[in-house]
Amino acid sequence: MARLRSLADECVDAAHVSRLRAAGHDVSYIAESASGATDTDVLRRAHDEGRLLLTEDKDFGDLVFRSGMAPPGVVLLRLDPEKSLLKWTRLDAAIGRFGPNLLGHYVVVEAARFRSRALLKPVRR
């Protein structure tokens, strides 16, 4: 399995962050380091640190494609918040299926499917 460098938005369940870390992934967690950061600040941090952004906030889609300041990749978890185990199972499946190909893409993880769209090349600021 590919080891990913990611930034988990604070809306991501802490248990999923722990599981990712236990699996050997390098995960920085906004809830631990910059709780209350704006979406723009989170996006900028993922971009500047070269980390895949893991979020449950669909507002990042508009922000990523409008701003031109794309992080290396985005994974949007679009599953019922009450179904934590399913969310973890689907996230793990997405990592297994796409691996390093998560980079350069905006991947939506749903209960029954994955959707992937190429990101625009980031604008250097």
Pairwise CA distance, residues 109 & 94, whole Å: 7
Q: What is the pLDDT of residue 67?
A: 76
| Domain membership flag for residue 123 | no
Number of domains in the chain: 1
Give the CATH number for residue 34: 3.40.50
Which one has a higher pLDDT value, 12 or 3? 12
| Domain membership flag for residue 26 | yes
Domain residues for 56? 5-118
Q: Which pTM value belongs to this model?
A: 0.91
| Domain membership flag for residue 125 | no
Q: What is the pLDDT of residue 66?
A: 81
Pairwise CA distance, residues 24 & 33, whole Å: 20
